[in-house]
Structure 1
Amino acid sequence: MIDSTLWYLYGNDLDLAKQKLNMRILKCKTKDEKLKFINLLTYIGDYKGCSRWLEHIDGITEIAGQQSQFRILRHRKIHNPWQALIGSHDQNRLNITLKRHIEQGNPFSIDLVGGIGDQIENASILMASKKNIVNPSALLLRPTGENSNIVKQLLEYVPNIRIAGEGEGNAWHVTAPWFRFWLNLNKLEEPPQALLEDKSPAKATGGILACWRSKVDKNNKLSSYSRSIPFREIVANYQKLQKDPRNRNQIIYDISNYREEEEVIVKLNNPSVRLMRGKINNLLDTKQLMRNCSLIITVDTSLVHLAVASGRNVDLLLNKFPDERWQDLCEKGSSYAQHVIVHQQKEFHDWGEPLATIRQKIVAMDKQMLETN
């Protein structure tokens, strides 16, 4: 997972990471190459440095620069940061076109883009915002990308939702980021709300559902690494749980994606852990597994979005410089604020304290179960 040429970004020395990354940018010969590394500055918390570089090379005229600018605006809590992703001439045209479609009741499709978590998150926001839209029945949702069928299968269980069918694929459509720009421009966006209340809430089984790793993003290995717990720390965490005399070794259903040799190590040393990744084919399988668990623990993956969409509490392990979305999602009035318990790194790439807090919570749950029984 680690890019060896950028080794300094994967350690614990934040000052060194900033210094060497800026030197790397300085040595780049082309604008495109510079933008590739400028974007990484936001992942080590150097938003000011990123902004200075974008201004220096006029980077926001390029798509990569616009994406960096979006992250900066969101970090600064600027209203409607989606504006960074749309040119000024497109903003006016989009506003006029969307208003016309909605006022006339013409069906149009909102394309859910990004990973599974992104699409669930945006579906939650769009469904909550429908009440502010004239002729809301005109709004169709269309999952896209390699995980479109997985997301579509989940959304089919959501009441009062219209999913774009095969015959409507050629209808006028807009991406979710652009539609959220329009919602914010017209002050219509609402905080996300649960899509699917879990009709079979977890009983006090003591089962734990855990995901310690995010999916590897080949285009952004640093993001994947920063959001995931290194394997050696996963092993150490399991060892501490096994050795703690206060812990009865509750069954942990681990849906992390391990290599074959890593699976052998986990199975050999942790009899209370059940590796479930290979038994999950879709989100409904995961949702069913959640019903057997009293505690849900995950890093920044689609599991946290699925849990919130299902009205379940979830313990979220966040890195020091997480995706800026979490500033918005966890604000008061949001279903995320209601259901997400955040355990965030205080030091760069140091999971020690968040994992210690999680272990304490597992022990406390075990104690509560003993007292209840």
Structure 2
Amino acid sequence: MGSLARCVDRAVLIDAAVSVSVVVLATWWWHQFRLGGLIYGLLTGTVLLWRRRRPVAVLVAVGVIAALTAMIEVRGTQLHEGMLLLSLAVATHAVLAHTPSLRTAGAWAAASLVGAGFLVNARPSATIADPVGVIVRPPVDLAAVGSSVLDLAGFGALVCAAGLSLRFLGVQRVTAAERRGNAERERAQLARVAVAEERARIARELHDIVAHSLSVIVLHAQGAEYAFDRDPARTRAALGTIGTTGADALEEIRQLVRILRDGGGGGDEPAPDHTLASVVERARAAGAAVELVVDGAPAELPRGVALAVYRIVQESLTNALKHAGPAPAVTVRVAYRPGAVELEISDDGAPSVRTPSGGHGLIGMRERATLYGGTFDAGPYLGGGWRVRARIPLISAGVPA
């Protein structure tokens, strides 16, 4: 909106400057004040203020004013032909630059050149008291006429070239703006699709988490009912497990629902035996030199957080295998902090070949981290290569640090 306002303001200033210039030139042409020039300049300058909005009407009006000025000349008020031609040139330029139809613009420009030729070669020597001289004038100098025609042709060519150049420049600007707008909308749509797909996969994982938690609750509830009279201690243990499992699942659901409220069912959860060690081993088997560093005592993470950690590490190793070159050296650091788990995956590959802004895998990792209120960033770092960092807070306050 700001750029549009600046363009409008600039156009208004240019139009005002053109109109003022016409008034000044018409009044003091060849450094001599002319009353007729002042009147002509005021009329023509006012009309030219509308040359962008109504270019054809402005050209017609300027032509009529110029013709009347040429026909009705009172002693001491005569204008030089150059002033009349300059006014027509400005109006013709506006027609070529701002008329929607190029064919229409060309026709009016040709008519303007014909009119300019009439003004130069058929200008009367009569006064207002001798209007017959408008049409018929004493012998014509053919050499002078030929020279005037050549001058008009060259002048017209310059005007046409300037007007058409401005016209095509405007078309190119509009086309470029439309292309940029289409590209931005396409990128936004692709990003929305990628986010929606990733949320759908997370929603499927949510289903598995809930199914697991409810299965545990149902089994312990049935066991507690069976042992209620026979084994009170076993019943109390089962009820405690039910409470803990339900509380953890409820907290996970509350966080997931905030983002997945509009999402569908989701993605592929790793098999029960898929751990960080197993995904590291698979990356090593694929040719990467992977070092797994664990800082702190491994905590029993909530199921959703564990899946997020697993997927972030898995996607980071996959990206390293794709982009870091053959046999990349990768370091996976997992730090169990009080109330959070921190991840850092770095490799020694060239960062210039990465495309972080358009990678759907990076979008998915960011979604997984932010889903649990965590943070995520990825990009090149000073030591060379690529680094992924994530911090995910632990949901349950009872998880050991």
**TM-score bin (small chain):** under 0.3
Greater relative CO (CA pairs within 8 A, separation 6+) = 1
TM-score normalized by the length of structure 2: 0.19
The structure in which a higher percent of residues are helix is 2
Larger Rg: 2
